[in-house]
Amino acid sequence: MRNKLKSFFTTKVWLTLLVCVCFFFIGLTFFTDVLTKPLQKITSAVVIPLQKGVNGIGLWLTEKSDLLVSVEELQSENASLRQEIEDLKQENLQMQEDKVELNTLRELYELDNTYSDYEKVGAAVIGRSSDNWYSTFTIDKGSDDGIEVDMNVISGNGLVGRVTTVSDSFSIVTAIIDDSSNVSAMLLNTSDICTVSGDLQLADEGYISLQHLDGDVKISDGDMIVTSNISEKYLEGILIGYAKDVTLDSNNLTQSGYLIPAVDFKHIKTVLVIKEKKIIAQ
C-alpha cells in the first residue's frame, strides 16, 4: 500500500498540487479578503508605526543636516564679514593717518611760505623728554645736514624753540615752554617789548608766562606776540602766541599775564629748522 502511494505522489504530482493550491489562494485573495485581513492588521500594527518611526528619524536627520549646513554657511559668512570689517578698519586707520600727515605737511608748507625769506630744512621728531610735553626733544637732522646750535625751530603756526645740542645725525631742541627758556618778545602791532618765559606747570593749562610789559601799553586778549628785534637767540618777527589776561602788576609799572602758544606742544611730529642764525650787531 505504501509503495503504491509513493509511486502515486511523484514529483510531478506534488508540483501540480502546489500549483493548484497557489491558484486557489490567488483566487481566494482576489475575490475575498479573508486571508489578507489578518496580514493587513499585522502590517498596520507593526510595519506602519515602524515606517513612521523611520520616516521621522529620516526627517529629523534631514533637518539636522540642513541646520548644520546653515550653521557652517553662517560661520563662513561671519568670518568673511569679520575680515571685511578688519580690512575696513585698517583702511580707515590708514586714511586717518594720511589725513593727519597731509594736514601736517600743509601746515609746514604754509609756515614755510610765511617765513619764505629764511632757508629751512625739515626734520622729524624721533624722541622727547620724559614729561607730557615736548619741552625738549630730538630731531633726525644734525651737523651732517647743516644744523647748528641756536638755530630757530618752527612748527604748526609759529615758534617752537631753538637747537641746543648737535650731533652728526641728530639734534636736541629746547622748546620755549621749558622752565629754562626766556624769549625776548614784542607786540606785533606796537613793537612794545616783553618777556615770554617757559613754565611747565603753566603749560599743563595751555599757557606760557608773559612778563615785563610796560604798564602804560594797551594790550588786549588775542593780540599777537612775536620774537623781538633785540632777542639774542631768536630771529625777529616769528609768531610766539596770543596775549591772554594781561593785567597791571602790583608795582603799577609793568604788566604780566599769559600767552596762548601758536604751537601744540603735546603733538609735535615734524618741524622746520631755520638755517639762518641771529646775528647781534657789535
Residues 6+ apart with CB under 8 A from 187: 194, 213, 217, 219, 223, 224, 225, 243
Q: Phi, psi (5° rounding) for residue 16?
A: -65, -45
Task: Say how many CA atoms lie within 13 Å of 229 toward its Cβ.
Answer: 6
Residues 6+ apart with CB under 8 A from 108: 122, 155, 270, 272
In a domain, 93, yes or no: no
Strands (E), the chain: 120-128, 136-139, 152-155, 158-166, 171-175, 182-187, 193-197, 208-214, 224-227, 239-248, 254-261, 270-274
* Tens of pLDDT, residue by residue, the chain (282 residues): 555 555 555 666 667 777 676 666 666 555 555 555 565 565 556 556 666 666 667 677 677 667 777 777 777 777 887 877 877 777 776 666 656 565 666 777 788 888 888 999 999 999 987 666 789 999 999 999 999 999 999 998 999 999 999 999 999 999 999 999 999 999 999 999 999 999 988 988 999 999 999 999 999 999 999 999 999 999 999 999 999 999 999 999 999 999 999 999 988 999 999 999 988 655
The answer to whether 235 and 182 are in contact (CB under 8 A) is no
Range of the domain at 197: 120-274
The letter for the amino acid at 97 is E
Instruction: Write down the pLDDT at residue 115.
Output: 87
**Number of structural domains, the chain?**
1
What is the pTM assigned to this prediction?
0.65
In a domain, 141, yes or no: yes
The answer to whether 187 and 219 are in contact (CB under 8 A) is yes
Q: Provide the 3-class DSSP secondary structure of residue 45.
A: helix
Q: Provide the 3-class DSSP secondary structure of residue 274.
A: strand
Q: What is the DSSP letter of 43?
A: I
Instruction: Write down the pLDDT at residue 165.
Output: 96
Q: Which three cell numbers stand for residue 92?
A: 580707515
In a domain, 34, yes or no: no
Domain CATH code at residue 169: 2.40.10.340
Instruction: Write down the pLDDT at residue 131.
Output: 67
Instruction: Write down the pLDDT at residue 28.
Output: 57
Q: Which three cell numbers stand for residue 190?
A: 606796537
The answer to whether 208 and 259 are in contact (CB under 8 A) is yes
Residues 6+ apart with CB under 8 A from 269: 104, 124, 125
In a domain, 33, yes or no: no
In a domain, 202, yes or no: yes
Residue 245 backbone class (left: φ over 0; alpha: ψ -120 to 50; beta: rest):
left
In a domain, 180, yes or no: yes
In a domain, 87, yes or no: no
How deeply is 119 buried, as exposed, middle or buried, from its count of CB atoms within 10 A (0-12, 13-18, 19+)?
Answer: exposed
